Structure 1
Amino acid sequence: MGEVSRGARALVVCPDIRGIRYDLDADSRLQEAEGLALAIGIVIADSFVLPVRDVKPNLLFGAGQVENIRIACEQNDAELVVVDGSLSPIQQRNLEDKLARKVIDRTGLILEIFGERAATAEGRLQVELAHLDYQQSRLVRSWTHLERQRGGFGFLGGPGETQIEADRRMIRQRMARLRKELEQVRKTRGLHRERRERAPWPVVALVGYTNAGKSTLFNRLTGADVMAEDLLFATLDPTMRAISLPGVEKAILSDTVGFISDLPTQLVAAFRATLEEVTAADLICHVRDISNPSSEAQKLQVLEVLGELGVIDGEGEDPKVPILEVWNKWDLLDAVQAEELAKVAEDDEGIIALSALTGAGVDGFLDRVGQMLTSRATVREFVLPSSDGKRIAWLHAHGDVLEEADAGESDGQSLRRFTVTLNPKELGQFQSL
């Protein structure tokens, strides 16, 4: 993880700025900030919400509050301060001077996690581009880490000497190269997606707030060894595996990066290509941690991102891709909560309840996914020459052939009549043969 070993002791401070409307309440935001810190092995010495009446341009906090943070650091032997908000370069430098400690804001912390977790070539390119974009205005430390291929990006390391102009030129050149490489990756992804669209198998995308249990569900369904720890951002790159479903010979299951509130703008842009996989899906399974008190607010965050991607309109009234809401972590509910939520889930076909960890409800989930993927299928009738082996074989391989019968002759050729069930995707593929 960059230049800091795991185990660094940190003070986590969540500013609650007057006049700003937050998506989550202060306690939930503090809990999420703690989760982000834990995700890269930071030890939380202490954490608290700090009300901010008036933002100070040079420090964010008032002088008295900064002194209280310094005292808390001394008392808790904290070597790092994590501020769950966005700090300007000047605010960050001034806080470091006043506190005599390393200070990292929310954007830097998330980038550090992404730098450590990105596994594919595309993920690493996206993270490095986001990191450089963020750091352009923060040329206050050594840039030797620019050559590293993996790992965190050293936000948590000590200060270093900087040749600012040379660094800026190096950053601009590196960003230009990264953008070219990313464009090539996107073109390749586009070709792969076109191939999948031509393939007969439907794509099911798992989406949801970070730490909702998507990877645990993915592993249970596919037997894959995808990282599925109780950590924020355990998955950063989409992973795809083939699964079989009731009524569906084969489907592709895609596990995607978790969504989060107030995702830094640099990362929204950098990870757009990763989330493009969702737009090509035939069905979206929105996995929710139904045991989390902030589950409803997290749902709205996910719907907002899906709206930005053009998958849904408004609050989800008109999804362009069908969405199934998956209420996960059912095993963590108490009896009263489970009974109340079970009534809601039973009355709504768009909701399925399960525990990815224990496996309870997973069979019902698979049945529902199979039903949703086959619900748009229609019965079609085709008359083909007996000699058209390619298309006849395709119908038997990819459609549900209900009846096959002799259909006489035409121009000296014997004909066969096929009654077949096909979904819209399969019908389009057959017609393009």
Structure 2
Amino acid sequence: MREPYQVIDDAPERSVLARLILPDMDVPADPLEELHGLATTAGTQVVGELIQRRAAAEHGTYLGSGKVEELRLLVEKTQADVVVFDNDLTPAQTRNLEKSTNAKVIDRTELILDIFAAGARTHESRLAVELAQLEYSLPRLKRMWTHLSRQAMGVGMRGPGEKQLEVDRRLAQKRIHDLKQELSKVESRRQRQVASRVEAPTVSLVGYTNAGKSTLMNALTEAGVQSADKLFATLDTRTRRWHLPDWGTVLLSDTVGFIRDLPHSLVASFKSTLEETRQADLLLHVADASNPNVFEQISAVYKVLSELEIEEKDTLLVLNKIDAIRSPAMLNRVLDRYPNAIPVSARSNKGLEMLADAVGEALGREFLDVVVEVDPGDGKLLAYLAAKGEVMSQQFSPDVVHVRVKMPAAMMGPVHRSAKSVREVDRSTGTTTEAADKSSAAPATDVA
């Protein structure tokens, strides 16, 4: 007998966006613009929007009763499959809203986790996303199993039987424990890999999602990194060599973008992926200068950097997408607040030479190009120079070893104390001058 023909509906889910605005919230001109981008990135078709301003959230349904009814009618009118909130909901609020609207309800965190799960490509990022999803889902398991009865249990099993919920909770807790152990090993391995790099200084791109970091990396290094006009196009760290005029080679890294109210579980899970940023000598904070909410996005990035405890690192602000700005007054408004920012267009390559010069100057503040005269028998100092700097050349003679090396300024104290002499190299002329002894200002690190 022939199988009946089946019609598969591959149309995207229809979504209604909702947000409750409380008095202490900073609200952009379009309160649902970012959520619209997230919902579209997740593959849904946005068919309706609803906003409520309220002094406090309703305990049971988050929105007030009148707005809940309005939401129900909107879902019915648009035939929406899912309601997406730009807020974080409790499991009880989600359950009550689903009963009231007869539609699936997800909150901001669940939406971001779904996008990350779809975009994770490497083993490391998949582990991080799975951990974040399990930690989010654990307190919400109850609503997933309300339709199931108790399991039938055999002789010797406890009492009247064990709920499927309890079985799943134990399995989830065991998996969370295993994932944390595996990610801890990955993080330790990544720390060793990044810390062992002494071939060149490291520069890391950070910024709000969709600010153009990957496009900028492609323009600077011809890396061929995937770039797309959508949120969270990049989840995995990529590192490429970037040649700076009058400086040499640096390692440029691109990693996951940040966002307002990035779930804490994701920040914790992606710590190993962000190790490149932690270890970088310089951060390039890329902001979308054409976005009306650029100030809020810049602040959100600094907030996440603070959560990662790396906000004190030397940072250059890069204002990208200046070719998309309709009015020069808009760019001037941003430059008035951030006068040291560097305006560029990664798409048209405008301003990239100025950016390269600024990066070289910033690294020059942190690194010294020096010629060190070392006693041939001082193997300890020779090993220290090789471990802490980038050795560019060595010339041996019976009485002295001339080592040209690029060294972090903070590591020069032991060099000044042990070397026969230290001379700085003028990059423009290639000549050397006697270097000032900065050992008093440098950390008292012993050569090891």
TM-score (norm 2): 0.78
State the AA in 2 paired with 1:187: S
State the AA in 2 paired with 1:356: A
Whether the 8 Å CA contact 1:398–1:426 is kept in 2: the answer is: no
Instruction: Give the alignment partner of residue 325 of structure 2, picking from 317, 328, 333.
Output: 333
Instruction: Give the alignment partner of residue 359 of structure 1, picking from 349, 373, 378.
Output: 349
Q: After the TM superposition, which residues 275-314 of structure 1 pair with which residues of structure 2 at under 5 Å, given as runs? A: 275-312=274-311
Larger deviation: 384-393 or 300-309?
384-393
CA apart distance, 1:299: 1.1
Whether the 8 Å CA contact 1:330–1:338 is kept in 2: the answer is: no
Distance of 1:260 and 1:384 partners within structure 2: 50
Larger deviation: 383-392 or 46-55?
383-392
Whether the 8 Å CA contact 1:200–1:425 is kept in 2: the answer is: no
Distance of 1:236 and 1:333 partners within structure 2: 27
Q: Kindly, what percent of the aligned residue pairs are identical?
A: 36
Q: Which residue of 2 aligns with 1:16?
A: 21
Q: Which residue of 2 aligns with 1:263?
A: 262
Instruction: Give the alignment partner of residue 35 of structure 2, picking from 33, 36, 40.
Output: 33
Instruction: Give the alignment partner of residue 52 of structure 1, picking from 42, 51, 54.
Output: 54
Q: Which residue of 1 aligns with 2:364?
A: 374
Q: Which residue of 1 aligns with 2:160?
A: none
Gap change, CA 1:426 and 1:370, over 3 Å in 2: farther
Indicate yes or no: 2:86 matched with 1:96: no
Gap change, CA 1:275 and 1:386, over 3 Å in 2: closer
3-state DSSP of counterpart to 2:196:
helix
Gap change, CA 1:297 and 1:131, over 3 Å in 2: same
Residues 144-165 of structure 1 show CA distances to partners (whole Å, capped at 9, x for unaligned) of: xxxxxxxxxxxxxxxxxx9211
Residues 213-233 of structure 1 show CA distances to partners (whole Å, capped at 9, x for unaligned) of: 111111222222323111111
Q: Which residue of 1 aligns with 2:179?
A: 178
Gap change, CA 1:5 and 1:232, over 3 Å in 2: farther
- Uncovered stretches (5+) of structure 1, i.e. residues with no partner: 143-161, 313-318
Whether the 8 Å CA contact 1:330–1:355 is kept in 2: the answer is: yes
Higher relative contact order (CA 8 A, sep 6+): 1
Distance of 2:268 and 2:248 partners within structure 1: 36
Larger deviation: 259-268 or 167-176?
259-268
Residues 305-356 of structure 1 show CA distances to partners (whole Å, capped at 9, x for unaligned) of: 22232323xxxxxx3x2111100010111243267359749x94x3211011
3-state DSSP of counterpart to 1:244:
strand
Residues 218-254 of structure 1 show CA distances to partners (whole Å, capped at 9, x for unaligned) of: 1222222323111111111221111111233211111
Whether the 8 Å CA contact 1:28–1:294 is kept in 2: the answer is: no
Residues 175-231 of structure 1 show CA distances to partners (whole Å, capped at 9, x for unaligned) of: 1111111111111111112212xx131110101111111111112222223231111
CA apart distance, 1:69: 0.8
Q: After the TM superposition, which residues 56-71 of structure 1 pair with which residues of structure 2 at under 5 Å, given as runs? A: 56-71=58-73
Corresponding residue pairs, total:
389
Distance of 1:335 and 1:87 partners within structure 2: 39
Distance of 2:308 and 2:194 partners within structure 1: 16
State the AA in 1 paired with 2:316: L
CA apart distance, 1:378: 3.9
Larger deviation: 246-255 or 51-60?
51-60
State the AA in 2 paired with 1:99: T
3-state DSSP of counterpart to 1:138:
helix
State the AA in 1 paired with 2:72: R
Distance of 2:65 and 2:95 partners within structure 1: 15
Whether the 8 Å CA contact 2:138–2:169 is kept in 1: the answer is: yes
Distance of 1:64 and 1:417 partners within structure 2: 80
Q: After the TM superposition, which residues 228-239 of structure 1 pair with which residues of structure 2 at under 5 Å, given as runs? A: 228-239=227-238
Indicate yes or no: 2:409 matched with 1:424: yes
Larger deviation: 131-140 or 384-393?
384-393
Q: Which residue of 1 aligns with 2:134?
A: 132
TM-score (norm 1): 0.80
Gap change, CA 1:428 and 1:49, over 3 Å in 2: farther
State the AA in 1 paired with 2:20: P
Q: After the TM superposition, which residues 393-432 of structure 1 pair with which residues of structure 2 at under 5 Å, given as runs? A: 398=390, 413-415=398-400, 422-424=407-409
Q: Which residue of 1 aligns with 2:157?
A: none
Residues 110-167 of structure 1 show CA distances to partners (whole Å, capped at 9, x for unaligned) of: 010011111221111111111011111112337xxxxxxxxxxxxxxxxxxx921111
Q: Which residue of 2 aligns with 1:251?
A: 250
Whether the 8 Å CA contact 1:7–1:43 is kept in 2: the answer is: yes
CA apart distance, 1:377: 4.0
Whether the 8 Å CA contact 2:390–2:405 is kept in 1: the answer is: no
CA apart distance, 1:271: 2.2
Distance of 2:251 and 2:72 partners within structure 1: 52
State the AA in 1 paired with 2:187: R
State the AA in 1 paired with 2:229: D
Distance of 1:38 and 1:328 partners within structure 2: 23
Distance of 2:314 and 2:200 partners within structure 1: 16
Give the RMSD, CA atoms, in angstroms.
3.2
Gap change, CA 1:134 and 1:423, over 3 Å in 2: closer
Q: After the TM superposition, which residues 343-354 of structure 1 pair with which residues of structure 2 at under 5 Å, given as runs? A: 344=336, 348=339, 350-354=340-344
Residues 13-48 of structure 1 show CA distances to partners (whole Å, capped at 9, x for unaligned) of: 11113x3x22x4154441111111011111111223
Q: Which residue of 1 aligns with 2:144?
A: 141
Gap change, CA 1:243 and 1:53, over 3 Å in 2: same
Q: After the TM superposition, which residues 145-224 of structure 1 pair with which residues of structure 2 at under 5 Å, given as runs? A: 163-196=164-197, 199-224=198-223
Larger deviation: 419-428 or 263-272?
419-428
Larger deviation: 129-138 or 236-245?
236-245
Distance of 1:261 and 1:91 partners within structure 2: 22
